[in-house]
Amino acid sequence: MGTAQSPLRILLVDDDADDRLLVADLFETMDDAACYQVDSVASYEAGLAKLNANHYDAALIDFQLGAHTGVDLLKASADLPRRPPMIMLTGHSSAEVDALCLHAGASDFLVKAGLYAKTLQRSLRYAVERHRLGLALTDRERDYRVLFEHNPMPMLINDPTSLRITAANQAAIQQYGYRREELLTLTSSDLRSPEQIERFLAFLHDHPTIEGVFNAGIWQHRRKDGSRLFVDVTLTDLEIDGCTVRLALLPDISARIAAETALKTSEATLRQVLDDLGDGLMVVSDDCRMLFANPVASSLLGLAKDEGVGAPLPASFSNAIGERIELADPAGVAHLIDLRSSSTDWQGQAAHILTLHDVTRQTADARQLAMLKRAVEATDDGVLIVDALAPGLPIVYVNPAFEALTGYSASDALGHNCDFLQEEDRDQPGIATIQQAIAAQQSCVVTLRNYRRDGSLFWNRLSISPVLDDNGKVTHFVGTQTDMTEQVALQAERERLISHDPISGLQRHASASALLTELLGDARDHGQRLVLLFVNLDRFSSINDTLGFAIGDAALKCMAERLQAAVGSTGTVLHHAGDEFVLAVSRVDPAAALQQLANALCIAIAEPLVVDANTTLYLTASVGLAAYPDSGDSVLALAQQAELASRQAKQSGRNTAAVFSHEMLASMENRQLLGGQLRDALRRNEFVLHYQPQVNAQNGALVGLEALIRWSSPQFGLLLPTRFIPIAEDSGLILQIGAWVLREACQQIRQWHDAGFSNFVVGVNVSAVQMQRADFVDTVQNAIIEAGIDPAMLELELTESTFMDNADRAVQQMQALKRLGMHLSLDDFGTGYSSLSYLQHFPLDKLKIDQTFIADITSDGTDAVLVRTMIAIGHHLGLRVVAEGVETEAQCSYLRRHHCDEFQGHYFSPAVAAEQVPELLQGHGFADHNSEQADHGRCLLIVDDEENVRRSLLRLLRRDGYHLLEASSAAEGFELLAKNDVQVILSDQRMPVMSGTEFLSRVKEIYPETVRMVLSGFTELSSVTEAINRGALYKFLTKPWDDADLRAQVADAFRRYELTSGQRADADTPVIGRSIQSG
């Protein structure tokens, strides 16, 4: 700003007297009011006259000046040679007016309302300084031209491409002896001596552009008279008038070269002395170029002898004199250097001697400590350290991740015991574990419920370890915290998906054994009646076939709510399978007529079912009823009786109810008769074993066989085990049949081994009854010894019920079997109840996923999620995973993509007789069934039932190089998705059987990483909006399309996939928690 001797002259132009007084008052309130001299005028004309007649440092112009505006005054004064910066004043802010004024040349724009002295003072200071700077730049450009022309340093400017000299200063003209016009006809090559032309051309090739200031070294040039001179060339590329030119500084150093030659002898003597020094020594010029470095310094810098002379001093040395710097020698070993400097005279010029003293050893410990601290500070896990010697184990350190995780700052936590993180929630098993570990001075890992500073809950995986001093005494404990909240929530949701039907929200019947047993026990203890009803909806499959799965699913949910309302607070509704439900009703009046109760449920079910505003269904059901103590005294018996009664009701014409009766019992007695025939079959050796191959998912090799029993009955023919094994279990014959299967399989293994076949295992199914026998391990061992086989060729397949009744006993039995050397697998995984807290302790080798989950894996999102979860569980437990019931190539491809280890099913081979197995073992496996998916890069699936539309899209998008797949229906789309690595899907909306949004919604569940788009000529806002809100759709595009826009949308979809696929891959990997349930 101005000074007391030269105040700033300010011109104020405003036709409002009050505003002029207001501005004048603002100047008087400024802390430097004496620095301003304000002239005020009240009109446009007076303002223009003042500007023409006087020199002002700045002007304040009102926007509205009578018939004129401040913009008019800006334009009228635009050509004044010394026009001051002009600031526009207005009563109201407006973006349009602001832009108009600034475009006309205003320096600033101020609103009178709320204008303060400091605001005005700051705006004036900025405008005046910027104006002065502009004037200075104009003067400086003129000065630069004078500086170039009259600079004693010879300088040339040339074109980097043509090398033609475009400018030369007077010093260059005098140095080379040419007139200016002669010099401007030459190129840079013309000034070089002939022997250096080749070097010059190589230099130009290596340096097509010059960044910054570049010293090109010493060159030999020629004057006009042919005499030679040495010049030290410095180059830089400049931008002048939009063109790149090269400025060359060309000082004549011929005299210096001669002097340096004369000094070489004396330098050699001095160099020998300097080479013998133990510390590094360097001589550096005032411009920070290395003039000398002894061997120690060169070694530290990784330079050969004299390599660094003339080179700039390393950047790490800048401003480091008197400090320590780190250097790495050629072997990569880091050295910490104490850098000192002193002045000297080197070859007639001022220079500096730098001594480099290696202090690496004495600082190594300190450096390591600092590194460890930084590592702890940078980790994403929370870290805390507590003092083990102080009362209360106070916290003495927390890292930033602890603060971010808990919301408590370091100052909040230091000095306190970390139990404040649990608040009042102290009833946690992990707390006792921690206390025991600290008392024993041992490590432990627990998971706790902790609470952040804001009170929110988070699950914390805490690992603590003791820290010992040099004498082996525990002085501290270090703890690491990992936020497990998301993983715990995901595990809870997965467990619910396994134990509950996702459509109806009901618990699955298969996972409710404990609940039903508890209800039966309560009824038995209190002498009450317990009723089980089996409900099978009549012809429900037609709903899915005619109205679609969405309506069918909604109907099942509504029916579940109706059934729950029918049984009231004393009843429980369970989902059995598909359109079947099981109802358990407690405390039923002993005098109540059971038939009337069942009929009432039939009537309630038959009431009109309003699914949505447009759909009302009229459903009926076949209901079966059994009661305790009327007909059964176990959960299994009641369930079988109720299901049998339901089948009787369906056979009676549907929409009716049946109560289990003695007549139905007669049918069960027929089963007992069949059980008697089973005894004869065992005695007459009517059972045979068939073997189904198990295939390596990656290479198709046959790695195992499952032994499957068949009954070759003279009366009924070849019966599958589903016909007689349940009867054998009920009759107690399962022990004898199981023992026969085990002995027969071992003998067969021996026969194959003697025939030269090995490198496979044979799986034998073991029932829960067999497993719980005390002599079972001896039975297995005897069968192995009698057959004389390697135990490693035998695999026992156990069901979940085998060990869930008595887990501890099962562990002992399994460990004993493993000691014999055989393999153990868990069969039908997912169909029962599995607690991972037990499962992880069982010495299993494999998990076998039941075929019921595999059947619809490529089209049913729930089954797909469950199977992916089961595979992740198996791998988390270190087990191989086998998929049973693989029937199609699509199933095979989907399972392989999600890392299933082995396959079993009719896609590869049905179960075959023993004499057919050698042919399979002699072959090359099932490689033809195991072709890997080709990597086609970007893969796009087009789904549309109109062939002409598909062809148009294929022609349009083929030019972008995508791998294109086409499907005419959702079913074909599911098949192609299973077999190919598809990233983007473009689907029509209106298609038969299943709409585009419904199709893509299912795709999202099965292939969540895909990017999904609908292309439709019809806008169904409700379904499309719902799909977008659920995340099923990325974009909705309309027909007819613009070719360029559609191609851009598809390309954008692939970019979206490629940006997010890695994160999704992590997110889609199931996280394993404590337990799973499945039905």
Q: Is 38 helix (H, G, I), strand (E, B) or coil?
A: strand
| Residue among 890, 1050, 893 at smallest CA distance from 962 | 1050
- 683 and 651 together in one domain: no
Is residue 801 scored above 80 in pLDDT?
no
Q: What is the mean pLDDT of the chain?
A: 85
Q: Which element (helix H / strand E) includes 281?
A: strand 280-285
- The DSSP element (H or E) to which 529 belongs, if any, is strand 529-537
Weakest mean pLDDT among 337-351, 596-610, 1004-1018, 1025-1039: 1025-1039
pLDDT band with cut points at 50, 70 and 90 for residue 216: confident
Give the mean model confidence (pLDDT) for residues 806-826.
89
Residue 941, burial from CB neighbour count under 10 angstroms (0-12, 13-18, 19+): buried
Q: Which structure tokens are listed for 706? A: 């499952």
Beta bridge partners of 529: 588
Residues 737 and 849 in one domain: yes
Residue 566 is part of a domain; what is its CATH number?
3.30.70.270
For residues 178 and 295, membership in a common domain is answered with no
Tokens of 767: 């029932």
- CA 210, 211, 212, 217 dihedral sign is negative
HSE value, Cβ hemisphere, 13 Å, CA-based, for 478: 8
State the helix-helix crossing angle for 485-499 and 861-876, rounded to 10 degrees. Answer: 120
Least Cα distance to 356 among 343, 335, 337, 341 occurs for: 337
User: In the beta sheet, which residues pair with residue 157?
Assistant: 167, 247
Is residue 917 domain-shared with residue 810, that is, in the same domain?
yes
- Residue written as tokens 């490198």? 759
Taking Cα atoms as reference points, which of 939, 956, 955, 949 lies closest to residue 1042? 956
Verify that 892 and 984 share a domain, yes or no: no
Dihedral sign (CA 629, 635, 636, 642):
positive
How far apart are the two ends of the chain, measured CA to CA in Å?
84
Q: Which residues pair with 711 in a beta bridge?
A: 687, 719
Q: Strand 939-943 vs strand 963-967: parallel, antiparallel, or unpaired?
A: parallel
What tokens were used for 154? 């010879």
Q: Tell me: do 140 and 208 sit in the same domain.
A: no
Residues 6+ positions from 92 with CB-CB distance below 8 Å: 111, 113
Question: What are the start-end ranges of the E strands in 74-227?
Answer: 86-90, 108-111, 155-158, 165-168, 214-222
How many residues in the chain?
A: 1079
Q: Are residues 530 and 646 in the same domain?
A: yes
* Three-state DSSP class for residue 744: helix
Residue 246 has a CB neighbour count (10 Å cut-off) of 21
pLDDT tens digits along 165-177:
989 999 889 999 9
Torsions phi, psi for 616 (to 5 deg): -125, 125
CB 110 within 8 A of CB 119: yes
Residue 740 confidence (pLDDT) above 90? yes
Peptide bond into 629 cis (omega under 30): yes
Phi-psi region of 624 (alpha: psi -120 to 50; beta: other; left: phi over 0): beta
| Residue 26 is assigned to a structural domain of this protein | yes
pLDDT in tens, 26-38: 888 888 888 888 8
Residues 888 and 817 in one domain: yes
Using the predicted structure, report yes or no on whether residue 1078 has a pLDDT greater than 50.
Answer: no
Calculated CA dihedral for residues 677, 683, 686, 690, nearest 10 degrees: 110
**Facing residues of 248 across strands?**
156, 235
Is residue 1078, in this structure, part of any structural domain at all? no
Rg (CA), the chain: 45
Q: According to the model, what pLDDT value does residue 930 have?
A: 53
Q: What is the dihedral of CA 604, 608, 611, 614, to 10 degrees?
A: -170
Question: Who's near 315: CB < 8 A, 6+ residues apart?
Answer: none
122 and 202 share one domain: no
Confidence of residue 1029 (pLDDT cuts 50, 70, 90): low
Evaluate whether residue 904 is within a structural domain: yes
Rounded Cα distance between 110 and 232, Å, is 56
Q: Residue 690, Cα to own-chain centre: how many angstroms?
A: 46
Is residue 489 in some structural domain? Answer: no
> What is the predicted pLDDT for the residue at 671?
63
Three-state SS at 690: strand
Q: Judge contact between 911 and 721, C-beta under 8 A.
A: no
Percent over 70 (pLDDT), the chain:
90
Domain end call among 422, 450, 483:
483
Residue 761 and residue 879 in one domain: yes
Q: Are both 781 and 889 inside the same structural domain?
A: yes
Provide the pLDDT for residue 773: 87
What pLDDT does residue 1059 have?
83
CATH number at 749 reads 3.20.20.450
Q: Is residue 1079 part of a domain?
A: no
Q: What is the pLDDT of residues 952-963, one digit of tens each?
A: 999 999 888 899
Report the distance separating Cα 756 and Cα 750, nearest Å.
10
Quote the Cα angle for 407-410-414, to 5°: 120
Strand ranges for 649-791 from DSSP E: 656-659, 687-696, 702-713, 717-719, 761-766
124 within some domain: yes
Does residue 811 belong to any structural domain of this protein?
yes
Domain holding 67: CATH number?
3.40.50.2300
> Which phi and psi (to 5°) does residue 309 adopt?
-65, 125
3-state secondary structure 171-204: HHHHHHCCCHHHHCCCEHHHHECHHHHHHHHHHH
In 547-686, DSSP assigns E strands to 571-577, 580-588, 609-612, 615-617, 621-628, 656-659
The DSSP code sequence of 871-892 is HHHHHHTT-EEEEE---SHHHH
pTM for this entry: 0.41
Distance CA 278, CA 974 (A): 77
Distance CA 809, CA 812 (A): 5
- CA 735 – CA 267 distance, rounded (Å): 102
**CA 339 – CA 358 distance, rounded (Å):** 9
Per-residue pLDDT, 1021: 61
Residue 369 lies in a domain: no
Query: Are 597 and 543 within 8 A, CB to CB?
Result: no
Please state, in angstroms and as integers, the Cα–Cα distance from residue 921 to each residue in 289, 691, 746, following that order.
78, 12, 17
Last residue of a domain, one of 232, 256, 280: 256
Confidence of residue 560 (pLDDT cuts 50, 70, 90): very high
User: Pairing relation of β-strands 395-398 and 529-537?
Assistant: unpaired
Q: 236 and 279: one domain?
A: no
Residue 297, C-beta contacts closer than 8 angstroms, at least 6 positions apart: 280, 281, 282, 354, 356
Kindly report the number of other CB atoms within 10 A of residue 946's CB atom. Answer: 14
CB distance 1078 to 830 below 8 Å: yes
Average confidence (pLDDT) over 985-995 = 89
* Rounded-to-integer distance, Cα 974 and Cα 932, Å: 18
Range with the largest mean pLDDT of 50-64, 640-654, 908-922:
908-922
Q: Average pLDDT of 371-388? A: 83
SS3 label, residue 593: coil
Q: Residue 479 in contact with residue 386, Cβ under 8 Å? A: yes
Asked whether residue 799 carries a pLDDT value surpassing 90, the answer given is no
Determine if the peptide bond prior to 502 is cis (ω within 30°). no
At residue 237, the 3 state secondary structure works out as strand
> Which residues contact residue 497 at a Cβ distance below 8 angstroms, ignoring those fewer than 6 apart?
862, 865, 866, 869
Which residues does residue 355 pair with via DSSP β-bridges, in sequence order?
A: 281, 340
CA distance 155 to 172: 6
Q: Are 884 and 851 spatial neighbours (Cβ–Cβ below 8 Å)?
A: yes
Q: Give me the domain span that covers residue 156.
A: 151-256
Mean pLDDT of 794-810: 79
Could you tell me the pLDDT band of residue 839, with boundaries at 50, 70 and 90? Answer: confident
Asked whether 154 and 175 are in contact (CB, 8 A), the reply is: yes
pLDDT, tens only, 263-307:
665 666 566 666 677 778 888 888 888 888 888 877 777 777 777
What's the number of domains the chain is made of? Answer: 7
Instruction: Measure the CA–CA gap between 255 and 348, rounded to whole angstroms.
Output: 13
Residue 192: strand pairing partners = 221
Tokens of 343: 């002045």
**pLDDT tens column, 301-331:** 777 777 778 788 877 776 767 677 777 777 7
Please tell me the predicted confidence (pLDDT) of residue 631.
Answer: 85
For the residues 365-381, what does the mean pLDDT come to? 75
Last residue of a domain, one of 146, 172, 199: 146
What one-character DSSP code corresponds to residue 934?
Answer: P
CB 772 within 8 A of CB 809: yes
Which of 469-478, 837-846, 931-940, 1067-1076 is predicted least confidently?
1067-1076
Where residue 438 sits, what CATH number does that domain have? 3.30.450.20
